[in-house]
A and B are shown apart, each in its own frame.
Chain A
């Protein structure tokens, strides 16, 4: 059976004018429903570029991306918006929307021309708010939320979109330690309980990484090594993520440490 989300000999990079720079190539990755996967790599390794290609924000340099056996590039934008949900670190100008209105925007792929929500849509929005645990803030303005709450609201927005796949670009980047752990726990429970396929990128290496099912490591020689988290953290690949020779992965602390 075909994987829910898979790449075939995918190459990603960026194009400027007539030149293109390939960052990562020959990627054969796959993601299943119910799986939480973390993409790790140092800054500039190509995490965001890969996620942009996987969410169709840019076209791949080579290869294809398939969703349940169908070529993603051939799926119309509107249908695609019901397949992959996105949470990014982009600045939003939604401070004067209520949390409910913001999460309601996630219903856009399902609503009509004018975007009006019916009772069914409103019930989905309410349950998305409940899933991430910010029901109490439903009527607050987005401007009034803490960074952690704002991130949860954006995750709820992606949930309201009801996509089988959710891609998150650095979801824990601007969060404090407690919110980081909470967000990772939330994503793990969404993957395992609601059977979503969730892919997130991060350079935040910590114990919360143990909540993931699989790791995709971008090594310093620009290869992507994948495997179950429990195996990966014991493998040598962990020491190939950062190009600095003075840091090494400490399995016990689940973090990188400097070598004297």
Chain B
């Protein structure tokens, strides 16, 4: 019983710490930025009043609040995608960016942009039809890469080989994107490159409900998969013996992953490392692979990590591209995990 109690203590403490950190990071993101706004003015604006400075009102309500919501949801979505991919492919180093799913979504975005306007300009078209098409493109691109991975995963059994195939697919998609860029206008290329840096500030208040709605549905769907995810820890044959239709479950899991990765990639750009790293942070915090605890903690830790990245990216005078920050946080953690894999339970 003692260990069981220890486990539930650890879970409660982890959730509490992550929620407090989420609130603190959100507050920091509200207060820090290229424009100095007093805490009292931010509070006045948040409670629905005007601070008297119209520019401040706009910055807080139209920029900082949407960025916080966008970042938190993107972090949760990418991290859950990573967790689902790691369990589905039985591969602790899987993640939406390393397996090429994000690049696939990016390719979809690029193709839609080229087909619609002849340029890659204004990645998320301003019209409603424009960004729905972009979303569909991103989803089809992510879906195509996931399909390739599924086919290869049944041919090559080695999980390292699957990672290499993901990286190869990613290179291929990148080269197609480069080809598309070479025929696009200079302005289009510029905005595409800017999109590629990653950005949590690109979702407007009118787009936010669609973005948030799809992610919340995807995250909710993932929580319903806890039981089959745990069965999959034992491998396909055991899972099937436990009554899990592994074929159907894998498709459902990849569908959720595809939707979550595609939405985030379409709106925020291809963001690396979060999906790979955060599930490991959650496992290390909890010391468990049990998805009933791992899934909520991964979601929260993902939101926290993304807010931290957002803060480092836009909280200071100079805007630093997101994709320059995520590797700095991600690489040391991955190295720590690789170097300590003998000591870490979930590898054994």
Contacts and interface: CB of A to CB of B under 8 A. Distances in A.
Chain A bound to chain B: yes
A165 to B, nearest CB: 11
A35 interface: no
Nearest to B283: A96
A150 B345 CA distance: 14
Contact of A77 (B3, B227, B240, B287): B240
A105 B347 contact: no
Interface string B211-224: 00000000000001
A223 B345 CA distance: 44
Contact of B241 (A55, A97, A114): A55
Chain A facing B: main interface SS: loop
B345 A96 contact: yes
Contacts of B287: 96, 141
B289 A97 contact: yes
A93 B226 contact: no
Nearest to A163: B241
A81 B3 contact: no
Interface in A79-118: 80-82, 84-86, 88, 90-98, 100-101, 105-106, 108-109, 111, 113-115
B199 to A, nearest CB: 35
Contacts of B129: none
B234 A105 contact: yes
Given A77-B243, A81-B243, A115-B226, A90 B237 contact: yes
B139 to A, nearest CB: 27
A91 B241 contact: no
A114 B241 CA distance: 18
B226 A85 contact: no
Contacts of B290: 96-97, 101
Given A57-B237, A97-B289, A115-B226, A105 B242 contact: yes
B235 A91 contact: yes
Contact of B234 (A77, A94, A111, A114): A94
Contacts of B292: 114-115
Contacts of B90: 93
A78 interface: yes
A88 B237 contact: yes
Contacts of B242: 81, 105-106, 108-109, 161
Given A93-B346, A139-B2, A80 B243 contact: yes
A29 B91 CA distance: 39
Contacts, number: 102
Interface residues of B, number: 33
Interface string A128-140: 0000000000011
Contacts of B243: 77-78, 80-82, 108-109
A106 B238 CA distance: 10
Interface in A34-81: 55-57, 77-78, 80-81
Contacts of A101: 288, 290
A95 B237 contact: no
Given A77-B245, A115-B227, A92 B238 contact: yes
B224 A113 contact: yes
Nearest to B92: A93
A81 B2 CA distance: 32
Given A57-B240, A90-B237, A108-B244, A95 B231 contact: no
A160 to B, nearest CB: 11
A111 B283 CA distance: 25
26 contacts: A55-B241, A57-B240, A77-B244, A78-B243, A86-B237, A90-B238, A92-B233, A92-B235, A93-B289, A93-B346, A96-B344, A97-B288, A98-B3, A101-B290, A105-B230, A105-B231, A105-B242, A108-B231, A109-B242, A109-B243, A113-B224, A139-B3, A141-B345, A142-B348, A143-B348, A144-B345
| Shortest 4 CB-CB contacts between residues of A and residues of B | A139-B3, A81-B243, A115-B227, A96-B346
Given A93-B233, A101-B288, A105-B231, 18 more contacts: A81-B243, A88-B237, A90-B238, A93-B90, A95-B346, A95-B348, A98-B7, A101-B290, A106-B242, A108-B230, A108-B243, A108-B244, A113-B227, A115-B226, A115-B227, A115-B230, A141-B287, A142-B345
Interface of B: 1-4, 7, 90, 224, 226-227, 230-231, 233-235, 237-238, 240-245, 283, 287-290, 292, 344-348
